[in-house]
Amino acid sequence: MRIGLISDTHGDLDAWEKALKIFNNIDIAIHTGDILSSGPFNPRSPSYKPVELAEAINRAPFPIIFVRGNCDAEVDSIALDYPIQSPYSFISTNGLKIMATHGHLHDENKLIELGHRYKLNVVVSGHTHVEKIVKSAGLYLVNPGSASLPKGEEGLPTVGFIEDRYIKIVSLEDGTELEKVEIR
């Protein structure tokens, strides 16, 4: 199973189109929120086109699991063919137990605590716009970064993957692998 991980698209149509190219041959995607709106505190990208982004997401060639981000409003649900208002989603596939959440409700330590409490293998979050993979006693906390408004050291828009017992973070610009961790 090849799972694409994306977060914080913030209405950026170009970011989604680049992700589609990187996400070739995925079975499913997990979007950890802040889908259509830039919110009042984020800049709008030059390709901020939330209506067009919603239409493109609705045409995606793979299913998508969404969780609500702090910038996702109830009205956004009207534009998307998917439920997007749940703060958490749980996925079980290929022996992996995964929880997705945006990340604004809990800090990193609390997410790790929840992952251990729920006996998960992976917790996927977004919100910070900084890509990261953290291992904690058999649990992996992964943030794919932001596809649109990156805040990491390198300032690269990023997405991630879970595949073949590996978690990867890749550059949205050219697909270059930035980080890879084996799930043990």
Alpha helices in the chain (DSSP H): 13-22, 50-58, 76-79, 108-117
> In the structure, what pLDDT confidence band is assigned to residue 182 with cuts at 50, 70 and 90?
very high
Q: Decide if pLDDT at 76 tops 80.
A: yes
Asked whether the predicted pLDDT for residue 153 surpasses 90, the reply is no
User: Which residues, in sequence order, are CB contacts of 105 under 8 Å at separation 6+?
Assistant: 87
Q: How many domains does the chain have?
A: 1
Instruction: Specify the DSSP class assigned to residue 155.
Output: -
CATH number at 122 reads 3.60.21.10
User: Tokens 């990340």 appear where?
Assistant: 103
Q: Tally the C-alpha atoms within 13 A of residue 140's C-alpha that lie toward its C-beta.
A: 22
- Number of Cβ atoms within 10 Å of the Cβ of 51: 11
Structural domain harbouring 68: 2-182
Flag whether pLDDT at 65 surpasses 90.
yes
Contacts of 64 (CB under 8 A, 6+ apart): 28, 29, 30, 31, 57, 82
Predicted confidence at residue 81, as pLDDT, reads 96
User: Mean pLDDT, to the nearest integer, of 144-168?
Assistant: 93
- Sheet containing strand 132-136, edge to edge, reads 88-93, 96-101, 122-124, 139-143, 132-136
pLDDT of residue 154: 78
Average of per-residue pLDDT across 154-163: 94
The pLDDT tens digits for 110-124 are 999 999 999 999 999
% pLDDT > 70, the chain = 100
What pLDDT, on the 0 to 100 scale, is given for residue 152?
A: 74
Rounded to an integer, what distance in angstroms lies between the CA atom of residue 117 and that of residue 16? 33
What phi, psi does 152 have (nearest 5°)?
A: -70, 175
